[in-house]
Structure 1
Amino acid sequence: MEKCGITEAGCVYLSKALRSNPSHLRALDLSKNNIGDSGMKHLCISLVKIQCVLETLNLENCRVTEAGCVYLSKALRLNPSHLRVLDLSWNNIGDSGVKYLCTSLMNIQCALETLRLSKCKVTHEGVTALTEALKSNPSHLKEVDLLENDTGQVIKKQCSLR
């Protein structure tokens, strides 16, 4: 459903559909839609359902901010075992949003393998939080994309810790 003009209202209907028949959908691509934080809130209601087995969630360029990461982090903590790939690239989540996501990454049951945060206004502070999360639970996350962020040279230093 990439670039389909989906807004918060569309997320309400999508959330209802996911809750009514959650066991079949494995990947959801909502990239380049204007779902925003309110839309994220509705989607996260579906993600916390035990029957939800979504493995890939693409939210690239969906106008998600730190507030949307609060909802997403809570959903990942309540249902950590299925989601493997999360793409939040081109959203304005910043360091605060990354810190919320890190609370989920520290959960030993978190199965996330790929986290894409390209062009998300992440700085040294966000990278440091990610590094600490990886130190506390290094078993699953294999790929972190932080391209086009204001991280400077810290990436090379942090990646060598792994």
Structure 2
Amino acid sequence: EIFKEEHGLYQEKVFSFVHLSIQEFLAAVHALESCLGKEEQVLICRDDHIYDVDDEEVRKSDRLLYLYRRAVDQALKSENGHLDLFLRFLLGLSLESNQNPLQHLLTQTGSPIQSNKETVERTVEYLSKKIEKESSPERVINLFHCLNELGSNSLVEDMQTSLRTGTLSGRELEPHQCSALAYLLLMSEEVLEEFDMKTYKTSDEGYQRLLPVVKTCKRSLLAGCNLTYKSCETLASALQTPNCPLRELDLSSNHLEDRGVKLLCAGPTSLLSNIQTLELARCNLTYKSCETLASALQTPNCPLRKLDLSYNHLEDRGVKLLCAGPTSLLCYIQTLV
């Protein structure tokens, strides 16, 4: 069942989508049809001028390229990734192999411009440049999904070969290579027993791009990777993943500060909802982090059993905050450092 029939106001029939991915797909079809059939851009920017050419085929090519680039830009601006799936559908529809089964939906597919290789190649080039520049690890992962939709997997295949031959740990990885590695590990759908980020030689930005991998492992070792409170946003997002297997998290010797801990414990699914071992030694924390952790510990059936807060500036009031409230820290913790 794709659509669900309901009765709206004034007894009118209303149809809702049972699965939202259908809505995203139809939105991509509409954007493509509007671009080619009606010569309209659903993602138009009023300051852009792309129609000042006489050749009709060039105009169509420019419209498509503009549509793809605008869709990429808009998706990258989204903080919660609400356009990610739409973008993947849109770019996937650019290939003739994906259009053929959808002739009844895509009324303009008779035009050869839709499978124009140059348009696809220029879009791949645009995506590759964005991968190198984009700072959000989650958004970059989606750009690799987009490259996959367009059949461009050279960077990922290089990472796959290096993993298979065991040569990856000896290489200095560029940030975009780290994103390719993260994409590869996430796409394997295999739960890793342990992910030690220090295994890989890279820059601070490279480590940031590897963070999404924590959502697919049981034990994550991120100590001494020059992470900051901004890294906690990516970690918190990863922890919102349904059925996240992560049980042990070592964030020691990073400059997280109190605001980093606050980000980790925020949201509908707190850091402490699943974690059994949490190590936060030498993270520049104060008593304020104790207040945040104490609040998170009020979660029913909190699984946390080991907590390392050593070498921080908690003071006596920090300890007092941890042990206060209806559900004390000591009700759960077996090891406190």
1:14 to 176, 181, 186: 181
Greater RCO structure (CA 8 Å; 6+ sep): 1
Distance 1:121 1:108 in 2: 19
Residue 235 of structure 2 aligns to a residue whose secondary structure is: helix
Q: 1:141 maps to which residue?
A: 304
Distance 2:197 2:171 in 1: 8
Q: Deviations over 1:58-90 (max 9, x none)?
A: 000001001100110011012453100001100
Distance 1:63 1:35 in 2: 9
Distance 1:136 1:119 in 2: 25
Q: Is the 8 A contact 1:64 1:91 kept in 2?
A: yes
Q: Report deviation, 1:5.
A: 5.9
Aligned partner of 1:21: which letter? S
Q: 1:55 maps to which residue?
A: 218
Distance 1:97 1:103 in 2: 10
Q: Report deviation, 1:27.
A: 0.7
Instruction: Name structure 1 gaps, 5 residues minimum.
Output: none
TM-score (norm 1): 0.79
Aligned partner of 1:43: which letter? L
Q: Is the 8 A contact 2:265 2:293 kept in 1?
A: yes
Distance 1:93 1:18 in 2: 25
Instruction: Name structure 2 gaps, 5 residues minimum.
Output: 1-167, 330-337
Distance 1:155 1:132 in 2: 13
Aligned partner of 2:208: which letter? M
User: Are the structure 2 counterparts of residues 25 and 159 from structure 1 closer, same or farther at C-alpha, using a change threshold of 3 Å?
Assistant: same
Residue 240 of structure 2 aligns to a residue whose secondary structure is: helix
Q: 2:204 maps to which residue?
A: 36
Distance 2:272 2:313 in 1: 30
Q: How does 1:63-78 map to 2 (within 5 A)?
A: 63-78=226-241
1:116 maps to 2:284: no
1:131 to 294, 310, 314: 294
Q: Is the 8 A contact 2:272 2:297 kept in 1?
A: no
- Percent identical among aligned pairs is 25
RMSD over aligned CA atoms reads: 3.1
TM-score (norm 2): 0.41
User: Are the structure 2 counterparts of residues 123 and 91 from structure 1 closer, same or farther at C-alpha, using a change threshold of 3 Å?
Assistant: same
Aligned length: 157
Residue 220 of structure 2 aligns to a residue whose secondary structure is: strand
Distance 1:125 1:2 in 2: 38
Q: Name which of structure 1's ranges 54-63 and 25-34 shifts more when overlaid on structure 2.
A: 25-34
Distance 1:114 1:156 in 2: 19
Distance 1:109 1:145 in 2: 14
Distance 1:37 1:80 in 2: 27
